[in-house]
């Protein structure tokens, strides 16, 4: 049980680390267009992101996929930017149901990219044979999922307060938060090591 908490806490800290806020930024971009009444859809998207993240870790830990770290570190803020831009262009529009399949696919794919970004560190803390890596991966994934649910819950509460107390429309809230996310992520893209060749 003690080992479970070790990997579970690593998963929690991976998402909630103040110095690695890219994960939180993506979750904000993913969840900002939704409200509490959409909680089932938000839980589905967050879980799909975790599945993609875990799939990438599995593929990387077992060395099925190997991608250069600087490429992945560049793609992570790109996924955040794309998600926030998608929100800007769809804010206030009623075609959310039609675009959910696209959002589901993109969320799963972006989860894979984010998982690849963490894979080198995760491989360094794992040792032993293949069988000994499966349980820590599952424990880590549970930590990731729990942390993501915390972040999304806090965002939905903040969204509720802003929309009910301060009378922001859902559209305006989505536009303001998406613009904020874009403003934070563009410097990350510019500072990427991929430009240093």
pLDDT at 197: 63
Instruction: Quote the pTM value.
Output: 0.90
Please state, rounded to an integer, the average pLDDT across all residues of the chain: 89
Angle value at C-alpha 75, between 172 and 117, nearest 5 degrees: 110
User: Running DSSP on this structure, what letter comes out for residue 193?
Assistant: G
What's the rounded Cα separation, in Å, for the pair 193 and 197?
Answer: 8
Which pLDDT score, from 0 to 100, does residue 1 have?
A: 62
pLDDT at 62: 83
Q: Confirm if 133 and 126 have CB atoms less than 8 A apart.
A: yes
How large is the C-alpha radius of gyration of the chain?
17
How far is residue 58's CA from residue 103's CA, in Å, rounded to a whole number? 23
pLDDT of residue 117: 86
Note the helical H segments in the chain.
2-16, 22-31, 39-61, 69-90, 96-125, 131-164, 170-190
In three-state secondary structure terms, 27 is helix
Query: Can you give the pLDDT at residue 30?
Result: 94
The Cα 31–Cα 42 span in angstroms is 6
From first to last of its 197 residues, the chain has per-residue pLDDT tens of 677 899 999 999 989 988 889 999 999 999 999 998 898 999 999 999 999 999 998 898 888 888 888 899 999 999 999 999 999 999 887 655 556 677 888 899 999 999 998 887 777 777 665 557 788 889 999 999 999 999 999 999 999 999 999 999 999 999 999 999 999 999 999 999 899 86
Cβ atoms of residues 41 and 152 within 8 Å: no
Nearest to 175 by CA among 97, 62, 93, 60: 93
Predicted pLDDT at 172: 95
Q: What is the pLDDT of residues 75-120, one digit of tens each?
A: 999 999 999 999 999 988 765 555 667 788 889 999 999 999 888 7
Nearest-angstrom CA–CA distance, 113 and 118: 9
Distance of alpha carbon 115 from alpha carbon 90, whole angstroms: 27
**Which is nearest to 30 in space by CA: 15, 18, 19, 9?**
15
């Amino acid at each position: 049980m003690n080992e479970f908490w070790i990997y579970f806490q690593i998963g929690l800290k991976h998402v909630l680390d103040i110095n690695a806020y890219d994960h939180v930024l993506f979750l904000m971009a993913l969840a900002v267009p939704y409200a509490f009444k959409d909680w089932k859809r938000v839980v589905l998207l967050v879980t799909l992101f975790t599945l993609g993240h875990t799939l990438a870790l599995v593929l990387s830990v077992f060395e099925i996929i190997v991608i250069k770290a600087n490429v992945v570190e560049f793609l992570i803020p790109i996924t955040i930017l794309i998600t926030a831009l998608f929100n800007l262009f769809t804010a206030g529009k009623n075609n959310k149901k039609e675009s959910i399949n696209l959002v589901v696919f993109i969320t799963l794919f972006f989860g894979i990219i984010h998982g690849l970004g963490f894979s080198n560190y995760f491989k360094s803390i794992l040792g032993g044979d293949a069988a000994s890596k499966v349980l820590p991966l599952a424990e880590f994934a549970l930590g990731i999922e729990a942390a993501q649910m915390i972040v999304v819950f806090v965002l939905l509460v903040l969204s509720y307060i802003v929309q009910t107390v301060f009378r922001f429309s859902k559209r305006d809230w989505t536009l303001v938060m998406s613009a904020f996310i874009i403003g934070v992520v563009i410097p990350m893209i510019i500072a990427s090591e991929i430009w240093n060749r």
